[in-house]
Structure 1
Amino acid sequence: MANKRYVSFFLFFMIQFSLLPKSHPQSTNQSDDEHQILLELKKHWGSSPDLGRWNFDSVAHCNWGGITCTNGAVTAISLPSQKFVKPLPPSICLLKNLTYLDLSYNNISSPFPTMLYNCSNLKYLDLSNNSFAGQLPNDINSLSALLEHLNLSANHFIGRIPPSIGLFPKLKSLLLDNNQIDGTYPAKDISNLVNLERLTLAVNPFLPAPVPVEFGRLTRLSYLWMSDMNMTGEIPESLSSLRELDLLDLSSNKLHGKIPTWIWQHKKLQYLYLYANRFTGEIEPNVSALSLVEIDVSSNKLTGTIPDGFGKIANLTLLLLYLNKLNGSIPPSIGLLPKLTDIRLFDNMLSGPLPPELGKHSPLGNLEVCNNNLSGELPEGLCSNRKLFDIVVFNNNFSGKLPSSLDGCYLLKNLILYNNNFSGEFPKSLWSVVTNQLSVVMIQNNNFSGTFPTQLPWNFTRLDVSNNRFSGPIPMLAGKMKVFSAANNLLSGEIPWDLTGISQVMELDLSGNQISGSMPMTIGVLQRLSTLNLSGNQLSGNIPAVFGFMSVLTVLDLSSNSLSGMIPKDFDKLILDFLNLSMNQLTGEIPTSFENEAYQQSFLFNPGLCVSSSNSVHNFPICRARANISSDRRFIALCSAAASIMLLGLALVGFMLTRRKKHIQRHLSWKLTPFHVLNFTENEILSGLCDHNWIGSGRSGKVYHVYAGDTTSGGQEVAVKKIWNMQNHDNKLEKDFLAEVQILGEIRHTNIVKLLCCISSSEAKLLVYEYMENGSLYQWLHQRERIAASTPLDWPTRLQIAIDSARGLCYMHHDCSPAIVHRDVKSANILLDSNFRAKMADFGLAKILLRAGDESFSAIAGTFGYMAPEYGHWLKVNEKIDVYSFGVVLLELITGRVANDGGEYYNLAQWAWRQYQVYGLSVDLLDEGIRDPTYVKDALEVFTLAVICTGEQPSVRPSMKDVLHVLIQFDRKSTGVQGSLKQVTSDET
């Protein structure tokens, strides 16, 4: 019994062993051959995302990217989007079992690859989205007879489709769209492909021909795309046999007649595109094609009403009926469709209200019904599902308030409601800066009311609220704004000084409001502005000269205001299609380039204007003769000469008195007044005042570097400023001394140089400061040969210096009571410690503002190149002169130029303004030491801030608090974020 069991087990084992697959040498050789063929393909095509993983040392090529094997043999190659350029190599067909080849989305440019005729088992071929060119070969049927899928779309094939295309007995998919194939299409030959399920011939320049009736034989078609191929005539009834159609696209042809009834009653059709043809007649009223998902029959000549049957198509997401001649009302049932996302019915003759339930039951995203006769209110639930991104309803008769559901409509991008009868307060949530995506708002010609927020959203590109009832101040405008129009409202206040946020704006219309004040000089930053209308307001002051540098400005209307002064001479640089300065209080000469008929109505009702000659077209008097001007100049010159003689006499008397005083000597008695705990005595200071320790001179004295005390007593380095011998000068220097002591003795701030004590006698006075190891900013920017370091300051260091200095000035202006004006802010008065932290110094010119308003001085004090225009001309002093000077320091930090280096433009501030106006922002503006790409954008934005700080009008300059706020935004070490000038807010706004 045991032997029988053993024999049975042995026989079973032998039978099973005989069934195991044998390892043939031929099979191994085939694998090696295919491995080598694939390596040759990689060598031919070069590196690519997938071929990079093909390893020369590995034999497991079936695991390589893009390769599929069956029973160890390569059967499929799928290498789309590999950036191949070279043609297909013949060796690819040495892969005898290859059935699938996808080389789509590459850059192969060659004729049709006839070497593929040798791929005898090919079933799937996709060469779409390449650059294959030339004609399709007449013997294209030499491709594998097993071929089921042929995709040649989106190439550059020309000529005709060869009749042999119809000789593929198993072909299910033929895609030839988006080429340059012309001639006639072989309708009869294609109709022989009875197994065809997908056919695309779209977007080819075929000769005009009717829709092929023969295609009715392709009863298995589910996808038929034949748009934009010059088809004419009507849709043939034969196509009604295509009962498996899922998509029918015959759009953008020249078809006419009625849309056949069978289309509206098709049981499987989901996507119907018949737009941009010439179809006429009414839509089938009994629509029963309930499988439809998308309907686009727009841009035809359809008439009649919208069938109520559309409201029964439960899966409908897209309904496009625009640009037809439809009339009547929109069926309420459409508002109940559960999946509707896009409805476009514009440019018809529709009337009545919108479906009241529209938006409540579906994720509605786009509503476009403009250019109809619709009326009533917008449906209350229009944005209930928070998916709405477009509302375009202009040129209708809508009325009432906007629906409350718009309050949370955060995806809304375009709100275009103009030319209706809407009323009520405009929803404040739509101005939200944080959540709003709104970019286009066009609500002109309604009855909206309300006010703007202080700052409009940054993403606004177009805002038109003209002819409504908005009130309040003008908002700070958005950064991407191209058009802002708020004409004929009730806006008041001044034009915001900070216009840098809308440097891209091209049209600005604030006419017909109640805007007052002067036009800010910063309007010059609007270098892309082509149209500006500020007419019909209450503007006053001069016309800014910067208009002359706005090179693309073509329309300028400043009429019906209270502008005064002369028309800037730089207006001669403008090339305007339209100019209106009428009804103002302008004086002086009309620029010669505007003394022609094109501008005959441009200057009316300005009685103070004059013209240069009697040949002018303008009815104004001739300006005063230049002979009179010359006479006046001679009189002025005579007076100047007499004054010079008198001054010379006074100088001689003064010199004689000075010589007498030199004989009077007095015993010196020093008095020390400390402001901090000191580790030295006055004798230790006095002993250090020798030439050996001299480090520089100021307007009123020398400066010494003194080491006071010794190491055992804890001495320290100090800077000593010695005021010139007070007996040899007038009382003004005494006042300088007293001013500096008074101010610095009371100040405690980390960014203001510390005054340790003062030492005075009847002959000399000493100010003892903490010593700043790295000297002045001026030395580091402009006298680097005098300091030990050879490396220029990098951008983070320069920015930190600017922030430190701004903090010091901000403390003086905003935290001291009364406020303190430095009056001599410059790079030489910004001192740097061992860590390059900056402190403001030299307050000899500082003035405490004892009362509100501007303070006048009897003499100019300050440094050329840093002085604000109003200070130099009218001796007017407030904090804004320090802002101007600080702006010049910023320009020094950024450009590396000195303050009085403006070339032909007089000084650095004027040079910067003209560079900004004419050439815009570029890396060429920056000092070579700070052109690191990481910081270029930040440095250029600070350059813009500097230009604003050095504006001609004090009222449009920011406060130091605002300047500091902006600078801090660029301090990546502290904030980690990059700032933006849109955050600057004028303290006077």
Structure 2
Amino acid sequence: MGGSRWLLHFLFVSVLLHVVHSGRSLESQSCDPADLKALLAFSDALDSKPAGWGPGDASCCSWTGISCDLGRVVALDLSNKSLHGGISSAVASLDGLATLNLSRNALRGAAPEELAGLPKLRVLDLSANALSGPFPAAAAVAGGFPAIEQVNISFNSFDGPHPAFPAAANLTALDISGNIFSGGINSSALCLAPLEVLRFSGNAFSGEIPSGLSQCTALTELSLDGNCFTGNIPGDLYTLPNLRRLSLQENQLTGNLGNDLGNLSQIVQLDLSYNKFTGSIPDVFGKMRWLESVNLATNKLDGELPASLSSCPLLRVISLRNNSLSGEIAIDFNLLPKLNTFDIGTNNLSGVIPPGIAVLQHLPNLTSLVLTRNFRGGETMPVDGISGFKSMQVLVLANCLLTGVIPPWLQSLGSLNVLDISWNKLNGNIPPWLGKLDNLFYIDLSNNSFSGELPMSFTQMRSLISTNGSSERSPTEDLPLFIKRNSTGKGLQYNQVSSFPPSLILSNNLLVGPILSSFGYLVKLHVLDLSWNNFSGSIPDELSNMSSLEVLNLAHNNLNGTIPSSLTKLNFLSNFDVSYNNLTGDIPTGGQFSTFSPEDFDGNPTLCLRNSSCVAKDSSVGAAHSKKRKAALVALGLGTAVGVLLFLFCAFVIVSRIVHSRMQERNPKAVANAEDSESNSCLVLLFQNNKEFSIEDILKSTNNFDQAYIVGCGGFGLVYKSTLPDGRRVAIKRLSGDYSQIEREFQAEVETLSRAQHENLVLLQGYCKVGNDRLLIYSYMENGSLDYWLHERADSGMLLDWQKRLRIAQGSARGLAYLHMSCDPHILHRDIKSSNILLDENFEAHLADFGLARLICGYETHVTTDVVGTLGYIPPEYGQSPVATYKGDIYSFGIVLLELLTGRRPVDMCRPKGTRDVVSWVLQMKEEGRETEVFHPSIHHKDNESQLMRILDIACLCVTAAPKSRPTSQQLVAWLDNIAEG
């Protein structure tokens, strides 16, 4: 009986489930005909229909991204589906639609005005597309978006005034960040709705923040950062009773922070950094019991630290760096158990550090402590009584005039990554245990009075021998951006953990003994600075094993012997200085040594260029120069280093980049006689055929350099087109400046560049001097620059198809490989960019201006920044050392590849915040699995998608932050040819 009852129950449930399933199946097989028509029209406006959509399939309720209720479409969610094209106004015919999510695609054009008429639409998400123009004005009229609750149109290119939704009685969230909206904020229109989240970040809003925002009483988040707001914070903003997150950073706000700030009793995150606030910080934090993060960095605040910060038990981050705060720290850290970052660097705080450290040590979560450039009373570094800091990863006590020795309690900080105690008055020997901290990869002990020999443990540091250096590290959670500021307040430098180089900086001490050969084991070390000490002996050949080394500074010691030729194997070495030692023999040639300045070898009287007379200053001159440099360093030292907030890097800038003169026999017919330049009768001699032309021929062919003949304008001068008397068409670059002091060197360099002969180079054919002007004569390229075709021509997508772009990439790579490896001598381009890739009548690529940055900037006759190259193409490591490298050229070439693939400029400030830098945008899209969306629509087709993806991978290898991970130019040629043939 029981079994029969169970069987009947089972049959009943089975039948019921079948009926339910049949009903659902029936529903999924049909949809409203009007909705079907609207969806097909929506699909037709796209470049290709969404996956899973079929024009012959009437069961639209089963299509990808479609949800129905009784046959009516209620949700259209095609987020992150690689959609291209426009948004059809037909979507507004889906009058049952409650959710429209088209985010994270590549949709372009305007948002249809008709969207405002959707009567049931509650959620609208069009974020992360390429939509442009004003947002539908219908949103602001009576009846527009009547049911809307959430609007996210962030990270597009919408412009004009911000949208408002006066008819939206239920609007709770509005995110328009990362667009180009401008003007002021219409608070009266916004606050008609019960808004809880208002994000206006990263636009172009200006004027003052209006006072009416206090009417948005339900606000929990207000983000106005990254705009151009001026004036004071309106007082009524502090009356918002539910506000938990207030982000006003990166504006131009001024005035005092009044006591009304304390009325934000529910605030969790407060960020007012990077403004121009003045006055003292109000001592009102006792009312903010929920506060977790306060950031007031980089303002003009003065006065004392508010003691009431002790009353915020949930505080994790206190960042008050780069202000003018003074007095003693009155915060009771025992009441802040969750604190993980305390950054007060670069202020004028006083008092005694040791007691403060004794208190801070007991904070269990403290990972970053930055006290740089404070407490300059000459206190002794605490030696005893410290046993905490178990979580410490970044400890910066630089430029605090501390005395004493390196304290033994540091050896218990097993998690320490970064230690900076530079620019103090510490002395004694460096303890061996310091090199045994497993996670330590950055040490700056410079500008102290440490003595004795280096401990052997410094050559056995686990994080620098293994693969645990910062270049492979994952960013540490909650460790903030750091600033390294010198003591004069100049020389600000920003870095993140992901780009921080493993470093040993021990300069300006009293260290003695040999340079240990076992340094060669530190294969992960990027920076080794032992300058301004008393090291003796020879430079170990084993240093050539430090395969990641980028900076090696051994200047101002007592080293002797020769410079090991094996150092030419250090392919990433961009900064090398052995000046003012007692080195002898020949300076090695090849590799990176061709890029180093003569000043890097000064003060070694018997150190010579190979097969040449000795070029270093003699000992008396060297000694005098040494004193001058010592005095200069001390003067500069009052303003160099220190104040780090997170992974700190000291980029010692080499004094100049004067290039080596070529000590070769010069062909007297190759260059016009310098003495002839006093008149206009000087000869213009072409290198490749010895036909002679006069300057009158040049003037006549350009109508005395008339503006009508200008075909280009760059950082080094104007470019004119010209037809020579023999009918040859050439481009004449006219350089202006005073070259009289270096005329012979300049001519020698010009002749060197003229010997670079390759089908993918714009050949330098001749040279002439006319007064203070220098004329460089190049082959003429009919189709101008790649930059013009990519970014100026409206029809570039049609005329510059994918096969042309691929051929341009191949040709450019071949030209670069020739300069790097086949040309004698090898040449660094130093300014690879799309405007320096010229196209002939067949659209074949030719690299232009190769070596010109060295030719001009090396002699300091061209006004430019310290960093060679052009904004957007400059590799990140050039911010740490201005010396050009082969890998720097590869980075710039990678940017050009991204331009070819995306059609975007390297930096475009007209794009939404977060997408303006093409490298960051592409890498982010790859991380999100959206790489197919970065390709320009004119070249993105199924038949070439495989090639596009492979070249995108190559481009990303070229622009990787670590130079050693970038390919060589020969590899680029092989890879691109393989792709073209495949």
- Scaled by the length of structure 2, the TM-score of the pair is 0.51
Q: Kindly report which structure 2 residues correspond to 1:803-952, keeping only aligned pairs within 5 A, or say none.
A: none
Aligned-partner Cα distance in 1 for 2:21–2:569: 83
Q: Which residue of 1 aligns with 2:507?
A: 466
- AA aligned opposite 2:186: P
**Alignment pair present for 1:246 and 2:244:** yes
1:520-567 per-residue CA deviation (whole Å, 9 max, x = no partner) reads 122333466565443555x56523442898222125455666x75x83
Q: Which residue of 1 aligns with 2:640?
A: none
Q: Which residue of 2 aligns with 1:156?
A: 157
1:631-654 per-residue CA deviation (whole Å, 9 max, x = no partner) reads xxxxxxxxxxxxxxxxxxxxxxxx
Q: Which residue of 2 aligns with 1:145?
A: 146
Aligned-partner Cα distance in 1 for 2:381–2:556: 29
Residue 235 of structure 1 contacts residue 260 of structure 1 at CA under 8 Å; is this kept in 2?
A: no
1:126-184 per-residue CA deviation (whole Å, 9 max, x = no partner) reads 1122111112232224642001111122211122235x543322211122222112233
Equivalent of 1:447, from 432, 446, 450?
A: 450
Q: 1:23 to 1:82 in 2, by over 3 A?
A: closer
Secondary structure, counterpart of 1:522 in structure 2: helix
* Identical pairs, percent: 25
- AA aligned opposite 1:144: F
CA apart distance, 1:294: 0.8
Q: 1:369 to 1:920 in 2, by over 3 A?
A: closer
Q: Which residue of 2 aligns with 1:582?
A: 619
Q: Kindly report which structure 2 residues correspond to 1:460-609, keeping only aligned pairs within 5 A, or say none.
A: 461-472=502-513, 473-474=515-516, 475-477=518-520, 478-479=522-523, 481-502=525-546, 505-526=549-570, 529=573, 532-535=576-579, 537=581, 539=582, 541-546=584-589, 550-556=593-599, 558=601, 564=606, 567-569=608-610, 580-582=617-619
Aligned-partner Cα distance in 1 for 2:204–2:372: 34
Q: Which residue of 1 aligns with 2:91?
A: 92
1:748-780 per-residue CA deviation (whole Å, 9 max, x = no partner) reads xxxxxxxxxxxxxxxxxxxxxxxxxxxxxxxxx
Q: Kindly report which structure 2 residues correspond to 1:334-345, keeping only aligned pairs within 5 A, or say none.
A: 334=333, 336-345=335-344
Q: Which residue of 2 aligns with 1:438?
A: 441
**Alignment pair present for 1:389 and 2:390:** no
Aligned-partner Cα distance in 2 for 1:351–1:246: 33
Q: 1:497 to 1:276 in 2, by over 3 A?
A: same
Secondary structure, counterpart of 1:168 in structure 2: coil
1:824-843 per-residue CA deviation (whole Å, 9 max, x = no partner) reads xxxxxxxxxxxxxxxxxxxx
CA apart distance, 1:105: 2.0
Residue 239 of structure 2 contacts residue 263 of structure 2 at CA under 8 Å; is this kept in 1?
A: no
CA apart distance, 1:124: 0.8
Aligned-partner Cα distance in 2 for 1:291–1:559: 60
Secondary structure, counterpart of 1:189 in structure 2: helix
- AA aligned opposite 2:402: F
Residue 383 of structure 2 contacts residue 409 of structure 2 at CA under 8 Å; is this kept in 1?
A: no
CA apart distance, 1:518: 3.1
**Alignment pair present for 1:175 and 2:175:** yes
Moved more, 121-130 or 331-340: 331-340
Q: Which residue of 2 aligns with 1:132?
A: 131
Residue 160 of structure 2 contacts residue 182 of structure 2 at CA under 8 Å; is this kept in 1?
A: yes
RMSD, aligned CA: 4.7
Q: Which residue of 2 aligns with 1:790?
A: none
CA apart distance, 1:30: 4.9
Q: Which residue of 2 aligns with 1:264?
A: 262
- AA aligned opposite 1:553: F
Residue 87 of structure 2 contacts residue 110 of structure 2 at CA under 8 Å; is this kept in 1?
A: no
Residue 355 of structure 1 contacts residue 379 of structure 1 at CA under 8 Å; is this kept in 2?
A: no
- AA aligned opposite 1:551: S
Q: Which residue of 2 aligns with 1:796?
A: none
Q: Kindly report which structure 2 residues correspond to 1:87-486, keeping only aligned pairs within 5 A, or say none.
A: 87-141=86-140, 143-161=144-162, 165-191=165-191, 193-207=192-206, 209-287=207-285, 288-334=287-333, 336-352=335-351, 353=353, 354-374=356-376, 375-377=379-381, 384=388, 386-402=390-406, 404=408, 406-407=410-411, 409=413, 411-426=415-430, 428=432, 431=435, 435-436=438-439, 438-439=441-442, 441=444, 443-447=446-450, 450-453=454-457, 454-455=459-460, 457-458=464-465, 459=469, 461-472=502-513, 473-474=515-516, 475-477=518-520, 478-479=522-523, 481-486=525-530
CA apart distance, 1:419: 0.3
Secondary structure, counterpart of 1:92 in structure 2: helix
For structure 2, which runs of at least 5 residues remain unmatched after alignment?
1-15, 470-500, 630-820, 825-883, 891-952, 958-963, 965-982
Q: Which residue of 2 aligns with 1:730?
A: none
Secondary structure, counterpart of 1:357 in structure 2: helix
CA apart distance, 1:226: 1.4
Aligned-partner Cα distance in 2 for 1:24–1:559: 85
Q: Which residue of 2 aligns with 1:962?
A: none
Q: Kindly report which structure 2 residues correspond to 1:622-771, keeping only aligned pairs within 5 A, or say none.
A: none
Aligned-partner Cα distance in 1 for 2:56–2:429: 75
Aligned-partner Cα distance in 1 for 2:569–2:24: 82
Which structure ranks higher in relative contact order (CA pairs < 8 Å, sequence separation ≥ 6)?
2
Aligned-partner Cα distance in 2 for 1:515–1:28: 83
Residue 333 of structure 1 contacts residue 355 of structure 1 at CA under 8 Å; is this kept in 2?
A: no
Aligned-partner Cα distance in 2 for 1:134–1:250: 26
Aligned-partner Cα distance in 1 for 2:298–2:541: 48
Aligned-partner Cα distance in 2 for 1:904–1:86: 47
CA apart distance, 1:469: 4.4
Secondary structure, counterpart of 1:311 in structure 2: helix
- AA aligned opposite 1:582: S
CA apart distance, 1:279: 1.9
Aligned-partner Cα distance in 1 for 2:229–2:357: 37
Aligned-partner Cα distance in 1 for 2:276–2:59: 60
Residue 558 of structure 1 contacts residue 581 of structure 1 at CA under 8 Å; is this kept in 2?
A: no
1:438-496 per-residue CA deviation (whole Å, 9 max, x = no partner) reads 24645442436541444551545432101334455334254455542112435444322
- AA aligned opposite 2:216: L
Aligned-partner Cα distance in 2 for 1:919–1:217: 59
- AA aligned opposite 1:467: N
Secondary structure, counterpart of 2:294 in structure 1: strand
Aligned-partner Cα distance in 1 for 2:205–2:78: 32
Q: 1:108 to 1:403 in 2, by over 3 A?
A: farther
Q: Which residue of 2 aligns with 1:590?
A: none
Aligned-partner Cα distance in 1 for 2:302–2:887: 55
Q: Kindly report which structure 2 residues correspond to 1:768-779, keeping only aligned pairs within 5 A, or say none.
A: none
Q: 1:24 to 1:223 in 2, by over 3 A?
A: closer
Q: 1:469 to 1:504 in 2, by over 3 A?
A: same
Aligned-partner Cα distance in 1 for 2:135–2:418: 47
1:699-748 per-residue CA deviation (whole Å, 9 max, x = no partner) reads xxxxxxxxxxxxxxxxxxxxxxxxxxxxxxxxxxxxxxxxxxxxxxxxxx
- Scaled by the length of structure 1, the TM-score of the pair is 0.51
Q: 1:147 to 1:404 in 2, by over 3 A?
A: farther
Aligned-partner Cα distance in 2 for 1:20–1:542: 92
Secondary structure, counterpart of 2:146 in structure 1: coil
Aligned-partner Cα distance in 2 for 1:379–1:168: 65
- AA aligned opposite 2:258: P
Q: Kindly report which structure 2 residues correspond to 1:24-103, keeping only aligned pairs within 5 A, or say none.
A: 30-31=30-31, 33=33, 45=46, 52=51, 66-70=65-69, 73-103=72-102
Q: Which has the larger radius of gyration?
A: 1
- AA aligned opposite 1:366: S
- AA aligned opposite 2:321: Y
Q: Which residue of 1 aligns with 2:652?
A: none
For structure 1, which runs of at least 5 residues remain unmatched after alignment?
1-15, 586-596, 603-901, 906-916, 924-932, 938-943, 945-989
Secondary structure, counterpart of 2:137 in structure 1: coil
Q: 1:437 to 1:58 in 2, by over 3 A?
A: farther
